[in-house]
Amino acid sequence: MAQELRTEPALSTTYFGDRLADAVERKRSQLVVGLDPQVDLLPVELRGDVHLGRDHAAEAFGRFCRGVIDAVAPYVVAVKPQSAFFEELGADGVRALEDVCAYARQAGLLVILDAKRGDIGSTSRAYSAAFLEPRGKDGPLADALTVNPYLGRDAVEPMLAACKRDGAGIFCVVKTSNAGSAEVQDAILTDGKPLWQHVARLVREWGEDIVGARGLSSVGAVIGATHPRAVGEARRLLPQSILLLPGVGAQGATPADVARAFTSGPASALVTVSRALIYAFRVDGGEWRAAAGAEAARLRGEVWSVSGW
C-alpha cells in the first residue's frame, strides 16, 4: 500500500502553510496522527523480542509506525512523531525515528516532529539544523517542529530563519492541554491578561513576515483542545497562524470543542490524535492496522464536518 501512496514530492521550498493548505484541500482532512509508540501498548505480534534490548524495541517501534502510516495515509495530512519515545531507546531509537519520518514523507505526508525544543545561541542553531534544515539530497528530518517559546525570540530565531530559507514550519507551545499548564501559562500579567495570551501575541509578531500565498503563517501555535474557550481566543489573537490542537481522544476533548479554530480557513487548524487512534485495536479488538485506518477515516469526516468547510 505504501508504494501506491508514494507520489508526493519529498521536499519543497514553498512556505509550509502553502504545502499544508494544498494537502488539506486535496484530502479534505485536517487530521494529524500522533506516533507515540510504547512497548507495553504495542500489538502482541510486535512485542516478541523487545525485552532483548533497545535495538529490538526500536525495530518494533519502526514496524508499528510504518504499519500505522500505511493504514492512515489516505485520511490524514501529517504525522506527528513524539521524539521522546524514540530518544528513550538511544541511538537505535533515533535511527528508527529518522526511518519513520522518511517513510511518512515518502507516503506523501507532512511530518511535524514533536520535540518541543527551546534554547538559545549555538544550542538553538543546532536544534534547527538537526530537525528543520536540509541534510543533503534527503532534505530535512521534518517539515515542522514543535518549539518552546518561553525563553523568548532568541530561542526561536534559528527556526524562524529555517522557515524563511528552507520552507520549514514551527508550532510554538502557547496554551497546552495538561492540567499543570495553568501554573505558568495562566499567570496574570500587569495588563490583566494571562501569560499565554502575551506569548500568542509574540507568535503572531514572529510570523507576520513568513506568510504564504494561502494566507497562512509558517509560525503556528499549540493550543490544547481541552480548553475550548482558549481555542476561540487563540484564533482571535492569531488570525494567520495554524493552530495545532492536541487533546482530542484520550485526553477527553472532541472535534466539536475545536470548531472555532477553523474560522481562518480549512487549513488554519489541525487536530492531532495519538493514543485513541494508533491503539484503537485495544478497544475494538480488531487487527491493529485496520482499526487505526477505520478510526482515522471516522475522525477525518467528523473534524471536516465541524470545521464548516
What CATH code is carried by the domain that includes residue 67?
A: 3.20.20.70
> What pLDDT score does 13 carry?
63
- Number of separate domains in the chain: 1
Q: Which amino acid appears at position 164 of this protein?
A: K
Nearest to 105 by CA among 5, 35, 25, 242: 5
Summary mean pLDDT of the chain: 93
Share of the chain above pLDDT 90, in %: 87
Share of the chain above pLDDT 70, in %: 96
- 208-251 pLDDT, tens digit per residue, is 999 999 999 999 999 999 999 999 999 999 999 999 999 888 78
- 256, 306 Cβ separation under 8 angstroms: yes
Whether the per-residue pLDDT at 1 is higher than 90: the answer is: no
> What pLDDT score does 2 carry?
45
> What pLDDT score does 300 carry?
97
> Would you call 175 a catalytic residue per the annotation?
no
- 220, 30 Cβ separation under 8 angstroms: no
Angle CA(74)–CA(299)–CA(223) in degrees, nearest 5? 110
- 291-306 pLDDT, tens digit per residue, is 999 999 999 999 999 9
Which residues have CB under 8 Å from 229's CB, separation 6+? none
Report DSSP letters for 95-123, one per residue. HHHHHHHHHHHHTT-EEEEEEEE---HHH
Confidence category of residue 9, pLDDT binned at 50, 70, 90: very low
Nearest to 79 by CA among 87, 89, 88, 71: 71
Which of the following is catalytic: 80, 116, 137, 193?
116
Domain range for residue 16?
2-307
Place of cell 485495536: 281
Whether the per-residue pLDDT at 39 is higher than 50: the answer is: yes
Question: Cα separation of 26 and 31, whole Å?
Answer: 13
> What pLDDT score does 7 carry?
41
With b for 16 or more beta-carbon neighbours within 10 A and e for fewer, the 75-89 pattern comes to bbbbbbbbbebbeeb
Angle CA(219)–CA(225)–CA(230) in degrees, nearest 5? 75
- 134-181 pLDDT, tens digit per residue, is 987 778 999 999 999 999 999 999 999 999 999 999 999 999 988 889
